[in-house]
Structure 1
Amino acid sequence: MASLRTAAPCTSTNTRCSSGRAASVSCRIPSLTYLPGRRAAPRLVKYDCTSERPFVAVRSLFDNDKDGNDYGDRIFAALPFLLPLLDGLPYAKFIMLQYPFVARAFAPVAPLMYLYHSFPFAPFLVFLAIYNGIVNNTSLPRFVRYHAMQAVLLDVLLIIPQVILNDVWKAPGDEVGLQAYILAYNTLFLFTAVCSAYGMGSSLVGLTARLPLVAEAADAQVRDL
């Protein structure tokens, strides 16, 4: 349940409002609103001296709050989503051949992906670093650990389709099977890319992302930390 904390209504003792002035006279009193699922944002509430009914005048979404969700925490919460994105990029080969603009859009990530896949144990080491260094690090804000946990679980979800597509279901020779194989590759890449982009974007603006299939498990994992 969202809670609203405001300053006391304007009175004749703490404002310049008086009964002798016109009814349109109003006072602006700063307050702080806490909304579920997003960071606290300062509001400037305007009180009418006759009705004392508040309405929003100004609100900023990019302030620091007491939970530590500042700019550094937002960036730190967004970085773990590079893990599932880098693991999902190899499945973009068909969609990049069909739509070259997708390859151009991910061109800035190409050097990082090359380094990530150049070393045999790099994915596993990065996975352990995120899980032990961020998710299990209770000194970090829950905002950071929760998003890192979602990125880790999203990366774990890629294991089963990776095994099926790479080891069990090889590229078939018939036309129908090949189209199904390409569709599976494209679907896996699009799901991973959209979830990673949504998680990174929400983290950077200070909102709590809830990704499909992993949000509830991530919430249960970091709830008691």
Structure 2
Amino acid sequence: MWRGANGPADRIFSGLAYLVPLASTLGYGQGLINQVPPLQPVRDVIAPFALLLGGNPLLSIVIFILLLTLVINNPRVSHFIRYNVMQSLLLMVILWLLQLVFFQFFLQMLGVFDLYQMFLEVISNTIFLGMAGVCGFGIFQCVVGRYAEIPALSDVVYTQIR
């Protein structure tokens, strides 16, 4: 969907929005990053944001609320920025739900099994790779100046952004 010109500032600010969910998911991929050395430069770039968000859990909620109120509900901000910020916030919500369901419910059930550690590592790596892929796609599309069309997620974003 095209809604006007997307200048360089719009592209940069839209791409920066995807760093928040990407930094939030870095902890899930530590095992994979340690096993695959080419991923370590990615960790080094994202680590400062992850330390900022991980150091204070309340900060991610504050960032969420600030972006929601100051960017998404502000019609003076370009549609391109509001669309990508809303999409990144939905990715954060998905990550929070995964964390809530998986780590609270499944960990209590699977704590008695011997394969617990392997299962935990597989699920954590899957969450990291999935979120990193989606965020990487979103950042690339922002840099190019196109809307990042993620199935199902983009439909929800279009209903929320006017």
Change (3 A) 1:133 1:70: same
Q: What number of residue pairs does the alignment pair up?
A: 160
Partner of 1:63: none
Q: For 1:113 and 1:136, how far apart are their aligned partners in 2? A: 26
Unaligned 5+ segments in structure 2 are none
The structure that has the greater radius of gyration is: 1
Partner of 2:123: 184
Q: For 1:150 and 1:192, how far apart are their aligned partners in 2? A: 12
Kindly provide the CA deviation profile for residues 142-161 of structure 1, in whole angstroms up to 9, marking residues without a partner as x: 11111111111111111221
Question: Could you tell me which of 8, 15, 19 is aligned with 1:71?
Answer: 8
1:175 Cα offset (Å): 4.5
Q: For 1:110 and 1:174, how far apart are their aligned partners in 2? A: 32
**Is contact 1:81-1:151 (8 Å) kept?**
yes
Question: Could you tell me which of 22, 38, 46 is aligned with 1:109?
Answer: 46
1:182 Cα offset (Å): 1.4
**Is contact 1:92-1:189 (8 Å) kept?**
yes
Partner of 1:29: none
Alignment of 1:124 with 2:61, yes or no, is: yes
**Given the two structures, how large is their TM-score scaled by the length of structure 1?**
0.65
Q: For 2:133 and 2:71, how far apart are their aligned partners in 1? A: 23
- Between the aligned residues of both structures, percent identity stands at 26
Higher relative contact order (CA 8 A, sep 6+): 2
Change (3 A) 1:104 1:76: closer
Q: For 1:177 and 1:117, how far apart are their aligned partners in 2? A: 25
Alignment of 1:98 with 2:4, yes or no, is: no
Unaligned 5+ segments in structure 1 are 1-36, 40-66
Alignment of 1:207 with 2:158, yes or no, is: no
Partner of 1:194: 133
Partner of 2:160: 221
Q: For 1:217 and 1:89, how far apart are their aligned partners in 2? A: 25
Q: Residue 75 of structure 1 aligns to a residue in which SS?
A: helix
Task: Give the aligned residue type for 1:106.
Answer: R
Task: Give the aligned residue type for 1:191.
Answer: G
Partner of 2:72: 135
Task: Give the aligned residue type for 2:102.
Answer: L
Higher relative helix content: 2
Partner of 1:30: none
Partner of 2:21: 84
Kindly provide the CA deviation profile for residues 90-138 of structure 1, in whole angstroms up to 9, marking residues without a partner as x: 1112212321322332212212211222123110111112111111110
Kindly provide the CA deviation profile for residues 150-190 of structure 1, in whole angstroms up to 9, marking residues without a partner as x: 11111111122101333222374644343222111111111
Backbone CA RMSD of aligned residues: 1.9
Higher relative strand content: 1
